[in-house]
Amino acid sequence: MSTASGRRRGRPSRAESENGSPGARERILESARAEFARRGYDLASVRAIARGADVTPALVHHYFGTKEQVFAAAVRAAVEVAARAFAAAEPTGPDGFGESFTRLFFGVWENPTTRGPLLALFRSAANNDTAAAIFRGAITDHLLSRVAGALSEPDAELRAELAAMQLVGVVLGRYVLGLEPLASTDAEVLIRRLAPVVQHHFTGPATAF
């Protein structure tokens, strides 16, 4: 691999990039996704992103502007994919919510191309207010709104949040903390375990004692 600092100045000749390898812009995006996913927004550095893309920091700014805009560009695609998945899900009756939501949730988190950006958003949300707001908005818009509309109980929002936080907590343990055996358990097993719990949050009795 050629180091960015060793490369000749100026625009590269077409011969240098005529192979199938992706252009600098794509490489930057890919590196940004990886870096944000590994370290979260604040700890990821434009310089490290540039290094990972074999490029100069100035080029990152040339293509994307500020660090915040790099983050937005890196995360946007995955958030939209997840949002579309939730929006396009065939509507189920209240009895089907549990499994339906659990499956959708693991669908996007087990997908390697969406997991990275979602991890980036997750890690960032723990320390960065802007990222936290995006995360909160994603949950509110794509999860709570659909459920609250279909559920009649007055505590529908709380129910949906408790269900969502069960799933989010599992994501934390599985992908961020690397808790065993949780991290190595087959996703299908987790879905079968969690779907009834999520369903209970949605429609079960509020207390059992």
Positions that interact with a second copy (CB under 8 A): 39-40, 42-43, 99, 122-123, 125-127, 132, 135-136, 139-140, 157-158, 161-162, 164-170, 172-173, 176-182, 185, 190, 192-197, 199-201, 204, 206-209
CB of 92 to a second copy, least distance (A): 13
Span between the terminal Cα atoms of the chain, in Å = 64
Work out what residue 152 binds among DNA, a second copy, none; the CB cut-off runs from 5 to 8 Å by kind: none
Residue 83 and residue 187: Cα distance in Å, rounded? 21
Residue 25 or residue 142: which is nearer to a second copy going by CB?
142
- Give the position of tokens 């199938």: 20
Interacting residues of 65 by C-beta distance below 8 A, sequence separation 6+: none
Residue 8 interacting partner from DNA, a second copy, none (CB closer than 5 to 8 Å by kind): DNA
Helix (H) or strand (E) holding 119: helix 112-125
Token digits for 46? 């434009």
88 touches, from DNA, a second copy, none (C-beta below 5 to 8 Å by class): none
Provide the CA 57 distance to its chain's centre, in angstroms.
25
Q: Give the one entry of a second copy, DNA, none that residue 10 binds, where binding means its C-beta sits below a cut-off of 5 to 8 angstroms depending on kind.
A: DNA
Min CB(183)–a second copy separation in Å: 9
d(CA 209, CA 206): 9
Q: Are 59 and 24 within 8 A, CB to CB?
A: yes
Nearer to DNA, 37 or 60 (CB): 60
Residues in touch with DNA (CB under 7 A):
2-15, 17, 23-25, 44-48, 54-62, 66-68
Q: How far is the CB of 168 from DNA (least distance, A)?
A: 26
Is residue 140 a contact partner of residue 134, using CB atoms and an 8 Å limit?
Answer: no
